[in-house]
Amino acid sequence: MSELKTPPSGGAKAAAATADYLDQRTGVGNAVKFFARKVFPDHWSFFLGEIALYSFVTLLISGVFLTLFFVPSMSEVTYPTEGVWATMRGVEMSEAFSSTLRLSFEVRGGLLMRQIHHWAALVFMAAIVVHMMRVFFTGAFRKPREINWVVGFVLLILGLAAGFSGYSLPDDVLSGNGLRITDGVIKAIPIIGSYMSYFVFGGEFPGHDLIPRLFTVHILLVPGLILALIGLHLFLMVMHKHTQYPGSGRKNTNVVGYPAVPVYAGKLLFNFFVVFGVIALMAGTMTINPVWNYGPYDPSPVSAGAQPDWYMLFLEGALRLMPGATEVMIGPYTLSLNVIIPAMIVPGILFTALAAYPFLEAFATGDKSEHHVLDRPRNRPFRTAFGVALLVAFFILVLAGSNDLIATHFHLSINDITWTFRVFLFLGPWIAFVVTKRICLGLQRKDRELVLHGHETGRIVRFASGEYIEVHKPLDAHERWLRVQHEAVRPLEIEPAEDSRGVRRKGYKADRMRQRLSQLFYEDRVEPVTPAEVAAAHGHDEHDEQHTAIEGHGQPAGVGASAHGAEPDGETAPDGRNS
């Protein structure tokens, strides 16, 4: 008897017909099939980039709500005498500030949406910074991802622009002080500074056009660029396939992980709701940017504790650390080095070093091969030390931007704090670089010791001859592979300056400069363990042979490794799939 089949419902038929219609006219079925079969590796650090994406989506959702009620105008109005916030009644203010108060206290859910928007901006910048740190320290920027690194760097700069233009819109005392500092920085530019200030502010500061202009930049120009670059960033990520951490089964020619559908798609959706929920919880329980306590912008009040959001604090700190007596007179003109150096040169050095590093490293190594397996930070001591030094410089500037709060909270002299930070700005990154590099080299030596001798167990064995040895536990194949799979990168070798006939070689100066850079990167290094070293350490070790015979624990540590500690035959990671 044949089995009866239930006929499809009307909804299923309609869905199938719609899908067939779209597939025949757009070819969307191939795209769906491609993305559904795409394999993504599974590691918690990859969630950092997702946090940045989801917080930006949260920014867009909350920003649309705020745009409906905010009035981007600098026209003067008087806060109504029947207004909700009693201390502002009868106070003259701009329409921008007045609409911010109305949005906060009179629009249902307005204050919650304002705080969701602000907290999402802080999380967005934090996620970008931490995500870029993960990419930097693991070498995920190497070929073919140099362009994607530049895209991420530009996203960081656009995030700074979006944050600055956003928290300047309420036109309160705090944001007004930040804009006044910006005006001073613009005017410090030689020759064209005053003209640029007039162009930006529409006249003498503060002018009447700045808030409408910032509003356009904040809701249209910068978000549009960020959306375009996020799309490019994701497209390049899919095209290049995802990087993965080193381990057995992981190679440059495969991706070990889970398919996009249904596993990764479900995780993405769940992670979005987690990020949105955490941001909403922060917004509902923690007040941020209470502009009603500051009041409308007035250039006369000056007080301690006037700091921008955290991602702009490094600029504030650089300005506070710079000595004031650094103005240079060139005829009738003043060159304000006390503003140019901290506000332009110092950030320029930090950002240029960050953006150019992938290209400098590629130039130093001469490596033109593709890399899809990430580095362990310890195996690239210079890169790791350089990144830590940059972070230390950034954190020192961030702390310096709060030197007044540190002084008031800990009852310290602000002058002593400022001079301490000035000294540490030069010594801190250097000390961090040296210490981090030594730690990385020490960890590499520890890896060599583990591969050659195994883990210490604390068990002591006495032989018949009276000799004592400690029993070492051999590394398993996966652990050994992790510690020896990286390639040895050595300084470049170049041809002599002169050929056999004594003629100076063309291009020697460029090669010599490249060699010096390569020596700076890779002169201090620890070579990975070779099969010959493993054989020398274990293959003819009499103690290990005696111990093997006496204790019956099988072959000694390290024996059985294939060439260059290669991955054992038949070993694959669970759920491994080739993309």
Hey, how many other C-beta atoms are within 10 angstroms of the C-beta on 328?
Answer: 11
Would you state the structure tokens that stand for residue 59, as one six-digit string?
Answer: 């920014």
From 312, 293, 55, select the one nearest 170 (Cα to Cα): 293
Query: Are 208 and 135 within one domain?
Result: yes
Query: Are 261 and 192 within one domain?
Result: yes
Domain count, the chain: 3
Least confident of 44-53, 297-306, 479-488, 567-576: 567-576
First to last CA, the chain: 44
Query: Are 156 and 177 within one domain?
Result: yes
Q: What percent of the chain has pLDDT over 70?
A: 91
What is the pLDDT at residue 268? 87
What is the pLDDT at residue 486? 81
- 213 vs 28, more confident: 213
Q: Give CA separation, 413 vs 258, 302, 319, 405, 419, in Å.
A: 56, 19, 18, 11, 10
In a domain, residue 245? The reply is yes
Give the highest mean pLDDT range of 82-91, 132-141, 333-342.
132-141
Q: What is the largest CA-CA distance in the chain?
A: 106
Query: Are 244 and 262 within one domain?
Result: yes
Tens-digit pLDDT profile for residues 468-491: 888 888 888 888 888 888 888 888
- Domain-ending residue, one of 266, 292, 318: 292
- Mean pLDDT value across residues 225-232: 95
- 163 vs 21, more confident: 163
* φ and ψ at residue 472, rounded to 5 degrees: -105, 140
- Domain-ending residue, one of 516, 534, 563: 516
* Cβ atoms of 336 and 323 closer than 8 Å: no
Alpha helices in 341-413 (DSSP H): 346-365, 381-400, 403-410
From 334, 316, 321, 466, select the one nearest 401 (Cα to Cα): 316
Place of tokens 């381990």: 247
pLDDT band at 573; cut points 50, 70, 90:
very low
In a domain, residue 307? The reply is no
Q: Residue 330: in which H helix or E strand, if any?
A: strand 327-330
What residues make up the domain containing 507? 490-516
Alpha helices in 492-541 (DSSP H): 508-522, 531-534
Task: Enumerate helices (H) and strands (E) in the chain, giving the number of each.
Answer: 22, 10
Residues comprising the chain, all counted: 579
Hey, how many other C-beta atoms are within 10 angstroms of the C-beta on 277?
Answer: 10
From 199, 169, 167, select the one nearest 183 (Cα to Cα): 199
Q: Classify residue 458 by its DSSP letter.
A: E
Query: Are 110 and 138 within one domain?
Result: yes
Q: Classify residue 537 by its DSSP letter.
A: I
Query: Are 61 and 142 within one domain?
Result: yes
- Examine the pLDDT at 371 and tell me if it is beyond 80: yes
Tens-digit pLDDT profile for residues 296-307: 988 777 667 778
Query: Are 144 and 214 within one domain?
Result: yes
Query: Are 230 and 283 within one domain?
Result: yes
In a domain, residue 386? The reply is no
In a domain, residue 437? The reply is no
What is the pLDDT at residue 4? 60
Query: Are 505 and 557 within one domain?
Result: no
